[in-house]
Every structure is written in C-alpha cells, then in structure tokens.
C-alpha cells in the first residue's frame, strides 16, 4: 500500500521523540552556558542562573517532538485507510510544530514533501 511512506514516518516519529534526548548545541544566559539536551539541563546544579531557562527550553523541545510524533501516528492511520489527504494534513502539523527547531531537527519537512508527491501523483 504505502509501506515506503509509512516507514519514513515511523523513522520521523522515532527521531521526534528523541529530539530532547539527543539534543543540539544551545547556549543560555549572559555567560553562554552550553546545554545540549534535557538530561544535561536537568543535571545542572540548582544554583546555575540559567538552569530554569535551559530546563524549560528542553522540556518544550521534548513536548513538541512528542506532539509531532503523535501527528505522525495519525498520518500512519490515515495511510492505512488509503487517505492520503488526511495523512498529508497530519504531517503538515508535524512540520509546523517542528518549525521552531527546524535548523537542528530537519525531521518532518522531507516526509511532508514525500507525502505531497504521492498525493499529487
């Protein structure tokens, strides 16, 4: 049916769920403290001035990644029903959510483009 697309979406779901765990280089505070993952942010000592900012940033990344993954799951359900338009809509929302972190993540745009190509065949 749409096995190739489903496989790509599953990979994107897995990547989305790992955004905060794998992370990327981000600096916080006037001293430019590098905090590159949720785990690293949560491991900062309580007296580090930018700890709360870093933890909040990475929690947002984690929640956004999980929400994007949930839309990916909806897309898979739609593809299994052969409903390409609903799948494209769901992946669009994943891509939209990713926008704030796209310079680091680059997960959903290629998947969205692949679904659109299939939709407009």
What pLDDT is stored for residue 119 in this prediction? 83
What pLDDT is stored for residue 8 in this prediction? 97
CA dihedral 34, 56, 93, 104 (to 10 degrees): 0
Cβ atoms 91, 9 nearer than 8 A: yes
Cβ atoms 80, 59 nearer than 8 A: no
Cα–Cα distances (Å) from 76 to 66, 72, 94, 109, 115, in that order, read 15, 6, 13, 16, 11
What pLDDT is stored for residue 120 in this prediction? 85
pLDDT of the chain, 121 residues: tens digit per residue? 689 999 999 999 999 999 999 999 999 999 999 999 999 999 999 999 999 999 999 999 999 999 999 999 999 999 999 999 999 999 999 999 999 999 999 999 999 999 999 888 7
Burial of 98 (C-beta count, 10 Å sphere; 0-12/13-18/19+):
buried
Q: List the chain domain ranges.
A: 3-119
Q: Which residue has the tokens 């949930």?
A: 70
Phi then psi for residue 104, to 5 deg, are -105, -30
**Paired tokens of 117:** 């190509």
Number of H helices, E strands in the chain: 7, 2
What pLDDT is stored for residue 72 in this prediction? 98
Distance of CA 115 to the CA centre of its chain: 17
Biggest CA pair distance of the chain: 57
């Amino acid at each position: 049916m749409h096995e190739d697309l489903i496989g790509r979406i599953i990979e994107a779901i897995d990547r989305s769920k790992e955004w905060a765990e794998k992370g990327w280089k981000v600096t916080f505070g006037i001293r430019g403290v590098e905090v590159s993952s949720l785990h690293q942010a949560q491991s900062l000592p309580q007296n580090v001035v930018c700890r709360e900012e870093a933890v909040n940033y990475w929690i947002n990344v984690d929640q956004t990644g999980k929400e994007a993954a949930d839309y990916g799951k909806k897309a898979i359900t739609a593809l299994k029903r052969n409903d390409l338009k609903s799948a494209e809509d769901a992946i669009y929302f994943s891509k939209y959510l990713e926008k704030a972190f796209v310079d680091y993540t680059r997960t959903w745009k290629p998947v969205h483009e692949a679904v659109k190509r299939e939709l407009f065949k």
